[in-house]
């Protein structure tokens, strides 16, 4: 009867029930190439750009830099523009179209992610079971639950929102270790489950027996925000990279962190104690992981710094080398001695070769080396990008609680 009713004349007047076009885009072909299609009969020029294309060097007001390349689509007689890529390695990629110069989301692809204030479409290329693309896909494995949870932060004097992943089987009972997974500047408690594919990575690695079932807590790292844009009473404001710094918080993220641990350990069935807690994060969240772990040396046995924005102490006195600044900062040295005196099981640093934070991380490793503080170091290709952070989570999570 429903199908019948939908044929009624008056359907046209109802909510847009049939949306999008019949175009298939993107289409991941068997050989790993990907075909993009856009219906744009009036357009003069249609391009596609994204991280599936080789980087190109461009001149900017700040000097030479790299950005994703641009490919031209060709129009057929029906007004459908098409481009097929080279074979792509297994990965999650992003892209957008440009139609006569204007950035355009693919109307045939409902899968997109927001990075601060910018949406891009996404697609995944897989080759075989266990490859990078496969790890980011939703596979036929048991799935954990993902919850948006409001907790009380007395330190920040507000209720705050965080994302909590509980592994498949959590509802059957048992106690679990906890990974605290922190986002970067401009991000929020949604970032790791959207751009970061954290739930898929954990589901797949747990199902493969490579990661111990664990709770993953993804808080909001902006201490003057209750929640992601649009999810608290500030209204539907436009997010920005520095937006969360516009008002002074009651305390720092680091100072407020025990509120989160306290809430989690009260409201979830966790295994307690240092050996059952890990913390890691990307960029600003790597900086948070760095600071929080040394502020509370007995809290975490596993610390991961992903492309970390590390505030190394010693201020910005450029007359000294970074190593001298660190060595001359008494409080910093005391904290670091306490942290490594508590013998964390893993202190893990990862960064891409072209990351703009590469040098500061290299300086920090120099300090760790000079003190003989043990750490593991992973250096990858690429820069300050989500592609790296997903790989780092994949690597780091396999080393935890074992």
CA distances from 400 to 177, 262, 346 (A): 9, 21, 8
Q: Which helix (H) or strand (E) element contains residue 303? A: strand 302-306
3-state DSSP assignment of residue 70? strand
Are 300 and 217 contacting, i.e. CB atoms less than 8 angstroms apart? no
Query: What is the dihedral angle through the alpha carbons of 225, 228, 234, 240, rounded to the nearest 10 degrees?
Result: 80
Q: Which stretch binds a second copy (CB under 8 A): 97-105, 205-213, 252-260, 362-370?
A: 97-105
As measured in angstroms, the least distance from the Cβ of 149 to a second copy is: 5
CA distance 39 to 60: 32
The verdict on 253 binding a second copy (CB under 8 A) reads no
Q: Does 246 bind a second copy (CB under 8 A)?
A: no
How many residues sit close enough to a second copy to count as binding (CB under 8 A)? 101
Residues of span 195-224 touching a second copy by CB under 8 A: none
Q: Does 34 bind a second copy (CB under 8 A)?
A: no
Near a second copy in 261-320, by CB under 8 A: 267, 284, 287, 309-312, 316
By CB under 8 A, the residues from 331 to 360 that bind a second copy are 354-357, 360
Please choose, out of 237-245, 249-257, 273-281, 390-398, the segment that lies near a second copy by the rule CB under 8 A: 237-245
Query: Is position 54 an interface residue for a second copy (rule: CB under 8 A)?
Result: no
Nearby residues of 328 by Cβ (< 8 Å), 6 or more positions away = 314, 320
- 155: helix, strand or coil: coil
Report the residue number, 104 or 257, with the smaller CB distance to a second copy: 104
Based on the shown chain and the rule CB under 8 A, indicate whether residue 133 belongs to the binding site for a second copy.
no
Q: Which range of residues in 238-246, 323-331, 334-342, 390-398 is near a second copy by CB under 8 A?
A: 238-246
CA atoms lying within 13 Å on the CB side of residue 217: 27
Which residues, 381 to 400, sit near a second copy by CB under 8 A? Answer: 383-386
**Contact, 104 vs 115, CB < 8 A?**
no
Which residue from 35, 127, 168, 323 is in contact with a second copy, where contact means CB under 8 A?
168
Per the CB < 8 A criterion, the answer to whether 314 and 333 are in contact is: no
Q: Identify which range of 15-23, 70-78, 215-223, 366-374 contacts a second copy by CB under 8 A.
A: 15-23
Binding-site member from 30, 77, 78, 140 for a second copy (CB under 8 A): 140
User: Which of 122, 51, 134 has its CA nearest to residue 90?
Assistant: 134
Which range touches a second copy (CB under 8 A), out of 211-219, 227-235, 252-260, 365-373? 227-235
Nearer to a second copy, 168 or 208 (CB): 168
**What separation in angstroms does the CA of 354 have from each of 51, 113, 361?**
15, 24, 12
Q: According to the binding rule CB under 8 A, does residue 124 interact with a second copy?
A: yes
Q: Which of 78, 101, 317, 372 binds a second copy (CB under 8 A)?
A: 101
Question: 87, 138, 341, 398: which one contacts a second copy (CB under 8 A)?
Answer: 138
Half-sphere exposure of 42 toward its Cβ, with a 13 Å CA cutoff? 0
Shortest CB 194 distance to a second copy, Å: 11
Q: Output the smallest distance, CB 345 to a second copy, in A.
A: 28
Residue 173 makes contact with a second copy by CB under 8 A: no
Cβ-proximal residues to 225 (8 Å cutoff; 6+ apart), any chain: 160, 188, 232, 234, 244
85 DSSP assignment: P
d(CA 181, CA 205): 16
Q: Does residue 42 bind a second copy (CB under 8 A)?
A: yes
Q: How far is CA 242 from CA 160, 183, 196, 354, 391, in A?
A: 19, 14, 20, 23, 26
Q: Give me the least distance between CB of 23 and a second copy, in Å please.
A: 9
Q: Which is nearer to a second copy, 90 or 186 (CB)?
A: 186
Shortest distance in whole angstroms from residue 279 CB to a second copy: 18
Interface stretch with a second copy, choices 143-151, 217-225, 254-262, 365-373 (CB under 8 A): 143-151
Under the binding rule (CB under 8 A), the answer on residue 12 touching a second copy is yes
């Amino acid at each position: 009867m429903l199908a019948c009713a939908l044929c009624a004349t008056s359907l046209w007047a109802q909510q847009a029930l049939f949306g999008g076009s019949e175009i298939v885009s993107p289409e991941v072909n068997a050989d790993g190439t990907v075909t993009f299609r856009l219906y744009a009969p009036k357009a003069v020029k249609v391009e596609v750009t994204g991280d599936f294309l080789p980087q190109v060097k461009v001149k900017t007001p700040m000097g030479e830099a790299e950005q994703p390349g641009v490919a031209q689509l060709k129009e057929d007689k029906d007004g459908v523009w098409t481009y097929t890529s080279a074979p792509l390695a297994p990965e999650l990629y992003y892209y957008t179209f440009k139609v006569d110069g204007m950035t355009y989301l693919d109307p045939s692809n409902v899968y997109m992610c927001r990075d601060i204030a910018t949406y891009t479409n996404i697609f995944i290329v897989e080759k075989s079971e266990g490859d990078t693309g496969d790890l980011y896909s939703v596979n036929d494995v048991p799935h954990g639950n993902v919850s948006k949870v409001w907790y009380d932060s007395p330190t920040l004097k507000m209720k705050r929102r965080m994302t909590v992943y509980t592994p498949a089987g959590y509802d059957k009972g048992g106690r679990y270790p906890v990974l605290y997974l922190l986002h970067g500047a401009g991000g929020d408690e949604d970032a790791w489950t959207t751009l970061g594919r954290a739930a898929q990575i954990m589901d797949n690695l747990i199902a493969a027996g490579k990661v111990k079932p664990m709770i993953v807590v993804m808080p909001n790292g902006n201490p003057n925000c209750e929640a992601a844009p649009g999810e608290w009473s500030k209204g539907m404001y436009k997010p920005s990279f520095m937006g969360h710094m516009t008002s002074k918080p009651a305390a720092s993220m680091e100072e407020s962190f025990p509120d989160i641990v306290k809430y989690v350990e009260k409201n979830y069935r966790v295994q307690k104690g240092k050996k059952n807690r890990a913390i890691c994060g990307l960029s600003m969240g790597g900086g948070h992981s760095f600071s929080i772990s040394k502020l509370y040396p007995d809290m975490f046995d596993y610390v991961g710094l992903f492309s970390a924005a590390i505030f190394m102490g010693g201020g910005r006195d450029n007359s000294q080398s970074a190593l001298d600044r660190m060595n001359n900062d008494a409080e910093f040295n005391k904290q670091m001695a306490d942290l490594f005196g508590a013998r964390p099981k893993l202190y893990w640093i990862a960064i891409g070769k072209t990351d703009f934070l590469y040098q500061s991380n290299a300086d920090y490793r120099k300090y760790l080396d000079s003190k003989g503080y043990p750490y593991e170091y992973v250096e990858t290709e690429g820069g300050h990008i989500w592609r790296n952070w997903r790989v780092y989570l994949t690597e780091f999570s396999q080393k935890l609680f074992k």
